[in-house]
């Protein structure tokens, strides 16, 4: 379809060049971006901006992440296609689609039921293999399918890593990638687990909406209107 006089595929190629310029070289990741029409995940009101490298609003005060960040995070996970993956923060389902193309099994958790439903609808037309959708608090992980080879958190966590996520990570090199820090800025951090040994590596600053839950930020710390109503 033509948008701003340029078709979606051409806009996607230009986006891929911008993502490449930001250091993403994994061709499998770039290919997953190429195959995933981002405009399907963006509300009608913002569709004209779907192929700009920007985060965009998706309702409930949440955002679809910046595509270059989605690509960078996916590259950091080094997926080979055989992994059991848990995503926390389904949002629009865009990152979900990318992860599903590159893994064996995917479970995704979202705290807003309306976003889960919308993400489910967004993903339906893509004919991807099955995805497990969970509505609830992702800071508690999802024990039924643990251990996970990879856990990706797409919302900003406070400096202390949620313990259930560490517990549900595979001891055979399982990787947990999450933004850790303050409410405003976080450091993208990858934690790797070998046996009981945990190693952390950081990948620069980022800005995400807060991870709200039992092992994340408390609602009244990040949603001021709750404080007033107490
Ligand atoms: N990756 C998503 C995409 O491509 O559209 C964007 C994710 S958005 C930046 C972060 C999401 O995390 C929001 O939808 C938010 O509601 C969700 N979230 C925040 N805290 C959560 C929690 N404890 N459990 C599950 N989801 C949570």
State the pLDDT at residue 225. 60
Q: Domains along the chain?
A: 55-229 (3.40.50.150)
State the pLDDT at residue 4. 58
CA distances from 80 to 86, 105, 171, 178, 222 (A): 15, 12, 18, 20, 36
Nearest 5°: phi and psi at 60?
60, 20
- Ligand 1 is surrounded, with C-beta below 6 A, by 62-65, 70, 88-89, 91-92, 94-95, 109-112, 115, 137-139, 154-155, 208-209, 211-213, 216
What pTM value is reported for the model? 0.95
Alpha helices for the chain (secondary structure H):
8-21, 27-34, 67-77, 94-101, 113-124, 163-167, 219-222, 224-228
Rounded to 5 degrees, what angle do the CA atoms 75, 80, 86 make?
75
State the pLDDT at residue 221. 87
Q: 125 catalytic, yes or no?
A: no
CA of 219 from ligand 1 middle (Å) equals 14
- Tokens 């051409």 sit on residue: 10
In b/e form, how buried is each residue of 106-125, taking b as 16+ CB within 10 angstroms? bbbbbbbeebbebbbebbee
Pairing of strands 172-181, 150-153: parallel
CA of 149 from ligand 1 middle (Å) equals 20
167-222 confidence digits (pLDDT tens): 999 999 999 999 999 999 999 999 999 999 999 999 999 999 999 999 999 988 88
Q: Which residues of the chain have pLDDT under 70?
A: 1-6, 224-230
State the pLDDT at residue 44. 94
Rounded to whole angstroms, the Cα distance separating 57 from 228 reads: 25
State the greatest distance between any 2 C-alpha atoms of the chain, in Å, as a whole number: 55
Number of C-beta neighbours around residue 4 at 10 A: 9
Residue 169, CB-side half-sphere exposure with 13 Å CA sphere: 28
Of 193, 140, 185, 177, whose CA–CA distance to 158 is shortest?
185
State the pLDDT at residue 2. 54
For 144, residues 6+ apart whose C-beta sits below 8 A from its C-beta are none
């Amino acid at each position: 379809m033509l948008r701003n006089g340029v078709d979606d595929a051409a806009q996607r190629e230009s986006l891929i060049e911008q993502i490449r310029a930001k250091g993403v070289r994994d061709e499998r990741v770039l290919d997953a971006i190429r195959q995933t029409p981002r405009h399907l995940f963006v509300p009608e009101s913002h569709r004209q901006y779907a192929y700009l490298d920007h985060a965009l609003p998706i309702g409930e005060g949440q955002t679809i992440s910046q595509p270059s960040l989605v690509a960078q995070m996916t590259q950091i996970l080094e997926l080979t296609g055989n992994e059991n993956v848990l995503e926390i923060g389904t949002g629009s389902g865009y990152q979900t689609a990318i992860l599903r193309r590159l893994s064996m099994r995917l479970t995704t958790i979202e705290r807003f039921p309306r976003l889960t439903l919308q993400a489910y609808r967004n993903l339906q037309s893509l004919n991807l293999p099955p995805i497990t959708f969970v509505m609830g608090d992702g800071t508690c992980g999802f024990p039924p399918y643990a251990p996970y080879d990879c856990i990706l958190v797409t919302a900003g966590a406070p400096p202390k890593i949620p313990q259930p996520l560490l517990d549900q990570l595979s001891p055979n090199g399982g990787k947990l990638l999450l933004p850790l820090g303050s409410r405003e800025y976080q450091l993208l951090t990858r934690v790797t687990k070998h046996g009981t040994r945990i190693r952390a590596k950081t990948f620069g600053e980022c800005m995400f909406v807060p991870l709200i839950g039992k092992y994340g930020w408390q609602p009244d710390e990040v949603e001021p209107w709750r404080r007033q109503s107490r």
